Structure 1
Amino acid sequence: MVAARVAAIEDRRGEGTMASPVRAAVQDIKRLRTISSVLTRHGFSAVARRAGLGRFVGDGGLSRGEDAFEEVEGVEELIGADRSEAAVRFRRVLEDLGPTFVKLGQVLSTRPDLVPKEFLEELRKLQDAVSPMPMEAIRRQVESSLGATLEELFESFEEKPLAAASIGQVHRARLPDGTAVVVKVQRVGVGEQIRSDLDLLYYLARFLEATVEEIELYSPTAIVQEFERAILAELDFRQEARNVQEFGRNFAEVPQVSVPHVYEELTTSEVMTMEFVQAGKLASVEGGSELADTVLHNLLDAMVKMVLYDGFFHGDPHPGNIMVREDGSLIFIDFGLVGRLSSRQQDDLIGLILNVLTGDVDAIARALLEMGDPVGRVNLREFRADVERVRNKYISATVGDFDVSQFIQEVMDAAQYHRIRLNPNYAVLVKTAATIEGIMRRLKPDLDVMAIGLPYARDLALKKYSARKLAQSALSAAVGVSSFVTKVPQQLDQVLMDLEGGNLTVTVRNASLDQLGEVLNTLGTRLFLGVIASGLAVVAAMLLRPFDTEIFGVSVLLILGILAALSATTLFWWSLGWHVAASRKGKKLRLGPLMRLLRRE
């Protein structure tokens, strides 16, 4: 009965209502004004000017005309000389702007290939902790989502939440049969606010791409798209429920790892009901104890299985999301952020791990190139040299000093320097690995990373180079070769027929020649406009001659003509100088990116 009412409510919500465009525009302008004000308050007024916020919301002198974009060219002028201090200010900006931007910061904290380490450290401190919603709002949300009164749904429902975050909060309750559960309730109106903020983020991202040339590597629009997918999935509690169930199926045969049971009939996009698990917190486990050793091995076994065997892993395994029973078994909770790896990505990752352990620098560099997305040509020799430098730095470190997270961070820095973008799935994994390493070092302060990792490396090598795997690879290669051998004669025959019939066309491209047409078009347009302007000036002089007057014996038309000529000459030399300077910098005015600001795909 409850499930039927829930389905009816979901169907009605799917119809929705169209918000007033004028009202939405006013709200967006107010939000832009707020963003501009917060940036300025925390010392990022230069960033606000560069992003064009001042000119669009008229905020406190931020708009300074066209020259505003040329005032700040370097990073220091934008954020200040001290990056660590700027990172703290940036974190406070995100916290002041609310849940959408806090979540954006948390997503960025998973991208060491894009974000400097000073900012990564601060972004990882972002917390969702907010004031809890009043019980009246909780009651309305639960009853409207589940289609029944709180008393009909639950025997008891605690008013004080177990935890409160930016998206929702969690309450203890009991079902009518006495079963203890926890109920996760989404904040009222948070979805509407997040979707509105997403529109603004798309606008800001496209504006930056259209006006800041050096932003190409970071691809702000792609980052916002990735963030949109993550946060909209987190807004739908049904997706989180599916993640919990998939994780449970993967570990059904592993007694040391489990997840809470999800009550589907009491779960909607805004409310999720799960089993209440009686267990302690991971943070309460004493480091160096026998229990800590058991927890460490269970945790490492679970992570290896998640990442390298299942290809589906918890994206935020901090101590608050892992609970521990007395026997050391683990319970994972909060599956709002998860990561996935394809079979190919798993093989690439296994190969990279083995290459790092064996010290094959060439293989490491090639593996990173295959796992990433290079923006333009990469100098493999220089990239290899940087990878070797990082490897040599850490391979000589003592066991206790070997910092896996720092090693990964420096490799990511090298990839970023050489304009290699990391796949988002790997980016989430990097953050997960850093979190797990921190937990492991707390559980075992004298942790020997290499010694504890070697048994897993042997298993991974057997997995990657097993007879079955090699047979599958050989079969796949044989099929590819067979297809190649079969198709090549046909394709060569087609090429010869086209050549004989005169239908074969060879196109040669040259960057300078491709630009020649644009240059000639520009020059022709300017010459045409110059001729038209000269003709209009002569005709105007002839027509206005009968109406000429004199001041102190000097023709007014002559004075105006001289002033116009001086203005035109000044404008000409300024335009020519700007054109030459822009050509030297390789900058061109492109209308395409500007036009994309007007639409969201």
Structure 2
Amino acid sequence: MRERGRRRRLLGLGSRTGGALLKHRLGGQADWRALGEALFEGLSELKGPAMKLAQIMAQWDDLLPADLADELARLQRQAEPMPWDDIRRTLEDCYGDPATYFASIEQRPFASASMGQVHRASTHDGETVVLKVQYPGLAEVLEDDLRQVHRLMRLGRWLRMPQARLDALFEELAASLRGELDYRAEAEALARYRARYAQRDDLVIPEPLPALCGPACWPCGMCPAHRCASWKAPMTPRDNVLVRPWPIGSPRSSSPTENCMPIPTPAISPPMPRGAW
């Protein structure tokens, strides 16, 4: 990831956003759908803090125009993955030759996020695992990205977003992303979380493979899960499921033991409620 080029593109997206907001404030008709499409395309490629911010703000349907929120919400499920050649560089930095540790790695990820993506892989023992890989160069550009994002967030005041809410969001975002850079800590925390709930028969928590965990790569066992967004039937306490509407380790999670983020999230563990699938 090249810092200068990223900064220019982020500023360009910010200028386009500012233009639409100014037109709206002056009484004009802003094309929120077109703006959302441009932000989706740009942020899907850039990844990092700006994409994470857009994913969060897409949930603010009480503040964002509906067309804009709908387009930003696509970043949660339709973001373009990073090319395999780039991801392979991270794998080689971590493992040398990945074939030493994995019998196969699917080149097409089954989930792409703001900081990394997830590939299905298999070990030489025949176990199917989920392999989370950080985007190459992300650590080097993170702080500059955060500075640019902080500047862009000031535009939120033009939509009458409370400044206190914007400040709190940025502090939460910055702390979360800095923590997400250390995949070893994330895997260790998942192991503690798994041990903490080992007696829960109704809770399925993936098992990390510590011997294969590195600073920018970590695998864990494959577990069945379903995104909350795909849930159709209403849920009640008798359905006996774990619903996790935010990543473990976000500020809403009070225990440091829970400072980890299995992917994909949010997820619901089995058993499935009746009629929901």
**TM-score normalised by the chain length of structure 2:** 0.68
The runs of 5 or more residues in structure 2 that have no matched partner are none
Aligned 8 A contact 2:101 2:124 in 1: yes
What is the percentage of aligned positions where both structures have the same residue? 24
Deviations for 1:74-132, whole angstroms, at most 9, x for unmatched residues? 96328x557xx5377357425524323220122335668xx616469534443262134
Q: Distance in 2 between matches of 1:132 and 1:301?
A: 29
Secondary structure at 2:241 match in 1: helix
Between the two proteins, the alignment pairs up a number of residues equal to: 260
Q: Distance in 1 between matches of 2:39 and 2:29?
A: 18
Q: Does 1:299 align with 2:274?
A: no
Query: In structure 1, what residue type is equivalent to 2:19?
Result: S
Deviations for 1:359-409, whole angstroms, at most 9, x for unmatched residues? xxxxxxxxxxxxxxxxxxxxxxxxxxxxxxxxxxxxxxxxxxxxxxxxxxx
**Which runs of structure 2 are paired with 1:268-279 in the superposition (5 Å)?**
268-277=214-223, 279=224
Aligned equivalent of 2:19, options 19, 42, 45: 45
Aligned equivalent of 2:63, options 96, 105, 116: 116
Q: Does 1:150 align with 2:88?
A: no
Aligned 8 A contact 1:282 1:324 in 2: no
Secondary structure at 2:86 match in 1: helix
Aligned 8 A contact 1:145 1:270 in 2: yes
Q: 1:77 maps to what in 2? A: 26
**Which runs of structure 2 are paired with 1:87-486 in the superposition (5 Å)?**
89-90=35-36, 92-93=38-39, 95-97=41-43, 98-99=46-47, 100-109=49-58, 116=63, 118=65, 121-122=69-70, 123-127=72-76, 129-134=79-84, 136-146=85-95, 148-203=96-151, 217-218=163-164, 220-277=166-223, 279=224, 281=226, 297-299=239-241, 311=254, 321-322=266-267, 328=271, 443=276
Secondary structure at 1:107 match in 2: helix
Q: Distance in 1 between matches of 2:131 and 2:191?
A: 16
Q: Distance in 1 between matches of 2:226 and 2:205?
A: 14
The runs of 5 or more residues in structure 1 that have no matched partner are 1-22, 48-71, 330-439, 445-601
Aligned 8 A contact 1:158 1:171 in 2: yes
Give the Å deviation of 1:38.
3.1
Aligned 8 A contact 2:40 2:74 in 1: no
Q: Distance in 1 between matches of 2:25 and 2:208?
A: 50
Secondary structure at 2:118 match in 1: strand
Q: Distance in 2 between matches of 1:316 and 1:118?
A: 30
Secondary structure at 1:256 match in 2: coil
Aligned 8 A contact 2:189 2:260 in 1: no
Aligned 8 A contact 1:257 1:302 in 2: no
Aligned 8 A contact 1:107 1:227 in 2: no
Structure with bigger helix share is 1
Deviations for 1:233-253, whole angstroms, at most 9, x for unmatched residues? 223223432442343234222
Aligned 8 A contact 2:117 2:132 in 1: yes
Q: Distance in 2 between matches of 1:186 and 1:45?
A: 33
RMSD after superposition: 4.6
Q: CA, structure 1 residues 181+443, in 2 after alignment: closer, same or farther (shift >3 Å)?
A: closer
Query: In structure 2, what residue type is equivalent to 1:248?
Result: R
Give the Å deviation of 1:265.
1.8
Give the Å deviation of 1:274.
0.5
Give the Å deviation of 1:221.
4.6
Q: Which structure is larger by alpha-carbon Rg, 1 or 2?
A: 1
Deviations for 1:264-292, whole angstroms, at most 9, x for unmatched residues? 12112210111123x37468x9966xxx9
Deviations for 1:540-560, whole angstroms, at most 9, x for unmatched residues? xxxxxxxxxxxxxxxxxxxxx
Aligned 8 A contact 2:111 2:118 in 1: yes
Secondary structure at 1:155 match in 2: strand
Q: Distance in 2 between matches of 1:441 and 1:314?
A: 31
**TM-score normalised by the chain length of structure 1:** 0.35
Q: CA, structure 1 residues 263+121, in 2 after alignment: closer, same or farther (shift >3 Å)?
A: same
Q: Distance in 2 between matches of 1:245 and 1:297?
A: 26
Query: In structure 2, what residue type is equivalent to 1:322?
Result: A
The worse-fitting range, judged by mean Cα deviation, of 256-265 and 165-174 is 165-174
